[in-house]
Amino acid sequence: MSLIMLKNLLLSPFLSFIHKDFHEIVKRMTLVDKFLFLIVHFVDKLNLWHRLPVFFGLLYLGARRRLHQQYNLINVGRTPTGVRSNPADFPYRTADGKYNDPFNEGAGSEFSFFGRNMMPVDQHEKLKKPDPMVVATKLLARRKFVDTGKQFNMIAASWIQFMVHDWIDHLEDTQQIELRAPKEVASECPLKSFKFNKTKETPTGFYEIKTGHLNMRTPWWDGSVIYGSNAEVLEKVRTFKDGKLKLSKNGLIQQDENGKIISGDVRNTWAGLLLLQALFVQEHNVVCDVFKKEYPELEDEDLYRHARLVTSAVIAKVHTIDWTVELLKTDTMLAGMRANWYGLLGKKFKDTFGHVNVGGSVFSGFVGMKKPENHGVPYSLTEEFVTVYRMHQLLPDKLQLRNIDVTPGPNKSLPLTNEIPMEELIGGKGKENLSRIGFTKQMVSMGHQACGALDLWNYPVWMRDLVAQDVDGNDRQDHIDLASLEIYRDRERSVPRYNDFRRGMLQIPISKWEDLTDNEEAIETLREVYDDDVEELDLLVGLMAEKKIEGFAISETAFFLFLVMAARRLEADRFFTSNYNEETYTKKGLEWVNTTESLKDVLNRHYPEMAEKWINSSSAFSVWDSSPEPHNPIPLYFRVPKQ
């Protein structure tokens, strides 16, 4: 009897317990993975993991992440063989992202392929089924602004755009597509029709996935949002003096003689994104000052390279243990995200004894591992990753400006002065208005304003008549309906629909609308739009409709993709693993990263009066006049979620 037959014989008693859609993939799993799947599947059936004590919740997430690392990382394109670069030749982040992976010089570089978390599902026969403008109008378009309460503020909304502009942007074709609003919704559509460029399909040279899409940004966590994704942009943003980047005297992003902003990414900007770009240019330049004082022998190029490494690591750390913790506000995720950076033994242990290399990342986290780990699949960000990061519902209709010249009220609250429509804060108008408002007032105002909730009927209507920009930041002639376009893009790029996506992520698919939501109006509208076929439900709509775990600003379905990709951004990058050391970063550089725990720390460095006067909350990503987190005497791993 063969080993495979023996494994399947052992599995056969469990097949009646396992959902029928997973029988085939489970048969292909190793014995260990079969065991892990049975545990995960059992917990999923009981909808239990987020109600478990923290330590057991972490065990569940660890088992699930291992399964995703084995079965949800798919390469697109050919992998070079027999070619190796020497990491010692590139002890710095290159302008275009090359040479991070010694075995694949192009992995994670500009114009590399988007990967996949599951096999593509061709939808070219169903690009308009149901019509994207019908879906956007009946299920996405904002009726009344719904916010996130005190959990998440406008800085948090701006931050995720800051990250997306660091990671992903599809190369477009020159061929245009036009969408026209069907009669049933035309009167409710700001645009009756609109044109946009197709996503460019590129042959992969590989038999399994024959075509793919190219990423114009470097998907590494390398700060390309301020440095650029190629040498040409990098040259524009550098001063070539003391390693620094260009910055205006008022602390905002510098503009050229034509009024164009000078930054690593200039496409589809708005005041909130420009503000964060400016803050981290300030961070880079202060790091350069510290290095010049500490290491006077360093020349301009070395100062720039070290400062970029440090600044990029600070950005990654803030996202990991600050932004994500506020997005997924539970004790389990607080423990989990800190474990990604520091390991289960925690920061104090790691600071005292260094990285424990036994057990991989378990005890000391991904950062500082002995060697990078890509699980046999060259690093990239994926098409599905792009979809779950579609979060435009976070944006409000107006920015509420605060009066920073008065004495703050209770909880450091501030009165409103006026409101500015978001249309006045995007593109060229946004740049001009930000200059008038100023860095401090803009940051404080965003800190005190809650962002939108990721729900149905909360997509900004002003984004359905939007002036989009090209890669150089020039306004395009054709306005777009972004809500409708996002539905179309997922279908065009063969991203599976909601149920197929859940199957691909080893989640039990829904069999009826009531499995998705308790909202009766939503159920009725979903039945109407999708002809009562749950298999036709678009992924983006499902993510917005799904019942959320208490404390989560996103759906569980989106979160499970985050679970594997958040780890991958750290563990596959040698500058967070084998090259995360004093030789590469300098002693002072590592100290800088290690003592930065939050965005509040970064703000304190550059605007020390800001936290003292205006931030009452524990995190700069929560609404600033909210109460700080109370002390909890129960050790984190022993806490039990509120039932």
- For residue 1, pLDDT beyond 60: no
Residue 371 contacts residue 577 (beta carbons within 8 Å): yes
Please indicate if the annotation marks 606 as binding a ligand.
Answer: no
**Mean local confidence (pLDDT), 139-155:** 98
Per-residue pLDDT reduced to its tens digit, 206-223: 888 999 999 999 999 999
Residue 50 CA to residue 559 CA, distance in Å, equals: 12
What average pLDDT is seen over the chain? 96
**Mean local confidence (pLDDT), 374-386:** 97
Q: What letter represents residue 363's amino acid?
A: F
Residue 378 contacts residue 104 (beta carbons within 8 Å): yes
For residue 130, whether the previous peptide bond is cis, meaning omega lies within 30 degrees of 0, is yes
pLDDT band at 24 (very low <50, low <70, confident <90, very high): very high
Query: What pLDDT score does 10 carry?
Result: 61
Q: What letter represents residue 275's amino acid?
A: L
| 165 flagged as catalytic | yes
**Mean local confidence (pLDDT), 371-395:** 97
pTM for the model stands at 0.97
Q: Is the dihedral of CA 54, 59, 63, 66 positive or negative?
A: positive
Per-residue pLDDT reduced to its tens digit, 264-294: 999 999 999 999 999 999 999 999 999 999 9
Residue 83 CA to residue 628 CA, distance in Å, equals: 52
- Spot the catalytic one: 165, 213, 355, 448: 165
470: region left, alpha or beta (phi > 0 left; psi from -120 to 50 alpha): beta
Residue 440 contacts residue 404 (beta carbons within 8 Å): yes
Query: What pLDDT score does 16 carry?
Result: 84
- State what percent of residues in the chain have pLDDT above 70: 98
Residue 375 contacts residue 70 (beta carbons within 8 Å): yes
- For residue 137, pLDDT beyond 80: yes
Per-residue pLDDT reduced to its tens digit, 391-421: 999 999 999 999 999 999 999 999 999 999 9
Residue 426 CA to residue 93 CA, distance in Å, equals: 31
Beta-strand runs (E) in 378-500: 398-402, 416-421, 466-469, 475-480
Q: What letter represents residue 524's amino acid?
A: E
Q: Which residues contact 77 (CB under 8 A, 6 or more apart)?
A: 112, 113, 204, 205, 206, 212
- State what percent of residues in the chain have pLDDT above 90: 95
In terms of Cα–Cα distance, which of 76, 66, 75 is closest to 30?
Answer: 66
Query: What pLDDT score does 6 carry?
Result: 59
DSSP 239: -
Per-residue pLDDT reduced to its tens digit, 173-232: 999 999 999 999 999 999 999 999 999 999 999 888 999 999 999 999 999 999 999 999
